[in-house]
Amino acid sequence: MRRKPEVFSSHSLFRDALLQKVLVMYGVPEPGLVLIKAFEGCHLSAYPDPLSGGVPYTIGWGSTRRKDGSPFRLGETITQAEADDLLRWQVEQHFLPALARIPGWAELNAAQAGAILSFAYNLGADFYGASGFETISRTLRLGQWVDMEYALTLYRNPRTHVEEGLLRRRLSEAEVFLSGVPGQDLSGAGVAYLATRDRTYRQNALLSDQALQYLAALKGEPSPSPSQPTISAEPLSPPAAPKPDGPRLLYLTEPNLEGDDVRAVQQGLAQAGIAIVVDGFFGPGTQLAVERYQKINGLTVDGVVGEGTRSRLLQRSLYVSDPYLVGEDVKAVQQALARQGLAVTVDGVFGPGTEQAVYSFQRQMGVLVDGVVGPRTRQLLTARRLYLTYPNLKGADVEAVQKALTRSGLAATVDGSFGPGTEWAVKQFQTRHHLLADGVVGPKTLVKLGAL
């Protein structure tokens, strides 16, 4: 029996060559890059994956790997030019080849292709024809541009905290797509929603009143295809990714994350003495406040509120209550008080004796004397003592002290390493402020420095 000729490999080679030819002719649709940059947000320092809380670490406009395929590590940084170049390279290598397989892709103009590129960058390069993407796939396959706004806005993860932001993105993609279709515009309701700057949430905590009004105005099913009298759209967007256990990661995104968890973090930052507006929105000001808190507390400075930052920031306040508060956090505070030379029983029970020790500590530090171990008192109690050792102590807390010394007019190299020069500057500072000039940065010196 004769074997059939090997046609698949040559067909595959021909197909790939054709795709490369299309890419060379077509190039990256610039409107797509504009949309991606408007909604993805750019981070020049690698941050943890929002779902896993760890790898893959993301940088730039959502990239997880370099051009050579190696992953980024937490804390690595790149320049803005490198981030832009990586985005374009990623689009050329991983998204356009997949999108070029969509029927009629080569006939789309830059606005249309750009809108679909933004959609794919958000939901996956291989969305076309996949389960859960039936409506958008059918709309693209049949060229039913009149249904494009409806089709795109299905994919917004309904009833989740990201629905509002995804609705705005989908409508923006629809607006760009339809700008490339003669005689076809975004609906009046869509235009009105995108023009709204001040949203209200009287009816739904997750979805604004303006979004609800838009969705109520968006009526109808997609147009029936010529070959099928009626086709009902899938009722929901593609299934949302499973939520991780525990609270969500908080970090700077576009649109800004918002909610009670953001507000709680902001309140914790304010109680810790960090200047911040408590409004429930995780904007640039909140990111800077988080980074400052992380520096002061010797945490990884990434502006991301993960488990470590959250547990340190949102520890419960300790005070005398009825019944008494008990637990390992009480014991840790008692141990810290004992290390400060204060008489206290380390039993894990916050009673009158512990309260008196807290009073004494607060008076010694010159802070509010209320007997309550809140973020400020806890920071002073748990901050590590900094002094000259070999090898030198290093860290964000050392850097914060060095910056405070320079602000006070003393010459100190800000390098995060506690060397002889830093010790000399600390002694000079202590002498000026009538503290024991021992070169050791303890709680009293930290308070005077304003390094907490």
* pLDDT tens-digit map of 384-412: 778 888 888 887 778 888 888 888 888 88
Residues of the chain with CATH 1.10.101.10: 260-313, 325-382, 396-449
- The string of pLDDT tens digits covering residues 8-57 is 334 444 444 444 444 434 578 999 999 998 888 788 888 887 666 677 88
To 10 degrees, what angle do helices 328-339 and 352-365 make? Answer: 50
Out of 3.40.50.11710, 3.20.20.70, 1.20.1050.10, 1.10.101.10, the CATH code matching 260-313 is 1.10.101.10
**Which of 110, 30, 94, 96 has its CA nearest to residue 62?**
94
* Res. 220: pLDDT tops 50: no
Per-residue confidence band for 227, with pLDDT thresholds at 50, 70 and 90: very low
- What are phi and psi for residue 373, nearest 5 degrees? -90, 90
CA distances from 262 to 206, 257, 290 (A): 14, 8, 11
For the four alpha carbons of 37, 43, 44 and 46, in that order, the dihedral sign comes to: negative
Mean pLDDT of the chain: 80
Question: How confident is the model at residue 25, as a pLDDT?
Answer: 45
Residue type at position 99: L
- The whole model's pTM is what? 0.47
Where in the chain do CATH 1.10.530.40 domains reside? 15-217
| Span 70-92, pLDDT tens digits | 888 888 899 999 989 999 998 99
CA atoms within 13 A of residue 294's CA, in its CB half-sphere: 19
Average pLDDT over residues 123-130: 89
What is the CATH class of 396-449? mainly alpha
> Is 208:161 a contact under the CB 8 Å cutoff?
no
Q: What average pLDDT does this structure show over 107-136?
A: 91
Mean pLDDT of 156-166: 84
Residue 273 pLDDT greater than 50, yes or no: yes
Q: Where are the beta strands (DSSP E) in 50-154?
A: 58-60
* Domain 325-382: CATH class, spelled out: mainly alpha
Residue 356: is it exposed, middle or buried by C-beta count within 10 angstroms (0-12/13-18/19+)?
A: middle
Active site residue 40: yes
State the pLDDT at residue 255: 82
Catalytic residue among 6, 30, 40, 423: 40
> How far, in Å, CA of 41 to CA of 223, rounded?
35
Look at residue 44 and give its three-state secondary structure. Answer: strand
CATH 3.10.20.600 fits 15-217, yes or no: no
